[in-house]
A = this chain, B = another copy of it.
């Protein structure tokens, strides 16, 4: 039985007719080598943004159903052009919209969740030697309306199809060679990882490594789909994301993820009052403010939370309202911050890591504004202008240039 791969190509990978032809070359070669393949494509780079901009000109508050009707055309163009390029090479191929595959979602337009991927049509095509070319990022709801999965959702489409078809591997082709120990733009000695555990990849993705969308990683883990990140521009085996991490190297820091553009809000008098705490988070939730890290320190009666800096104004407005009903103590805030997160391949003695991080950063004169740990990661919030400095110091100290 030939191996079955679901291969997803992102916007830059199909960003021009030249790129589409190059991808078609590679896919045709694999096809004639006997691989079974399902392609999942994003819109050509820039197209989704162009369509959103058109919509914003008509109505910045356009209904999400109509936005989905609009932006889903981007992927439809990609799959038609790719199918033509494959047919020209003698590969029997057929383009399919989300609704034609029957990628069934709920009706949360703009951020729909996949309920089920029907496999009947895909399997029939594969059985008859036809290569399905599927529009990523989109599905269809129970009313027959076109939905989209939100930005980055093509990865999730690929993973969901791979899971439904029980594919041997889901391959995410992107413009980098795989998952790196950190952003090579910040630290040139960053190393490509040959493999990484799902847990670590999930944290890396959530913490700002843009190579994969966290939802798609979580989906792959849930369905135990082996996932691989590769370059669509260069040869190489990329990074395999494994759910069977038993034979991997001993647990240690595998990567440093970064996230910029953060603000920090601190409250001095809420920690001991669970009522206020509950009211606080309810109020932020209702007001549409998504917080990032939350740190509470009972001993100091303090609570700190980070959030995207563009949500700061709304957050302060909500706290002001809440302050008229509850005593919040001193509310202070700071902007121009970044988060640096160390992610490990397994459970670590994070207290040890924390003390090393404090020591390393103090050694290069960087102040830690907030520190937060979970089972396999540790995040510190620092001034954004010190970001590169911090990443380099940590990358070196944890010997990530030697993995």
Copies of the chain in the assembly: 2
* Chain B residues near A87 (CB-CB < 8 A): 59, 62-63, 66
A69 at the interface (CB under 8 A from B): yes
Across the interface, A80 reaches (CB within 8 A) one of B67, B76, B81, B144, namely: B67
Knowing A58-B20, A100-B144, A144-B100, the reply to whether A76 touches B84 (Cβ < 8 A) is: no
A313 at the interface (CB under 8 A from B): no
A55 at the interface (CB under 8 A from B): yes
Are A84's CB and B100's CB within 8 A?
A: no
Interface residues on chain A, number (Cβ under 8 Å) = 36
Knowing A100-B144, A144-B100, the reply to whether A55 touches B69 (Cβ < 8 A) is: no
Distance of A85 from chain B, by nearest CB (Å): 5
Are B17's CB and A54's CB within 8 A?
A: yes
A337 at the interface (CB under 8 A from B): no
Across the interface, A76 reaches (CB within 8 A) one of B58, B67, B70, B85, namely: B70
Q: Which A39-97 residues sit within 8 Å CB-CB of chain B? A: 51, 54-55, 57-59, 62-63, 65-67, 69-70, 72-73, 76-77, 79-81, 83-85, 87-88, 94-95, 97
A169 at the interface (CB under 8 A from B): no
* Chain B residues near A72 (CB-CB < 8 A): 76
A187 at the interface (CB under 8 A from B): no
Chain B residue with Cβ nearest A121: B144
- The answer for the CA separation of A97 and B144 in the assembled complex, in Å, is 10
Closest 6 CB pairs of A and B: A70-B80, A73-B73, A69-B80, A62-B84, A59-B88, A58-B84
Task: Known A-B contacts: A63-B83, A76-B76, A97-B146. Give 17 more (CB < 8 A).
Answer: A17-B54, A17-B58, A20-B58, A21-B58, A55-B81, A58-B81, A59-B88, A62-B88, A63-B84, A66-B80, A66-B95, A69-B76, A69-B79, A69-B80, A73-B73, A73-B77, A99-B99
A-B contact pairs, 13 of them (CB 8 A): A20-B58, A58-B88, A59-B84, A59-B85, A59-B87, A62-B84, A65-B94, A67-B80, A69-B95, A70-B80, A70-B81, A97-B146, A100-B145
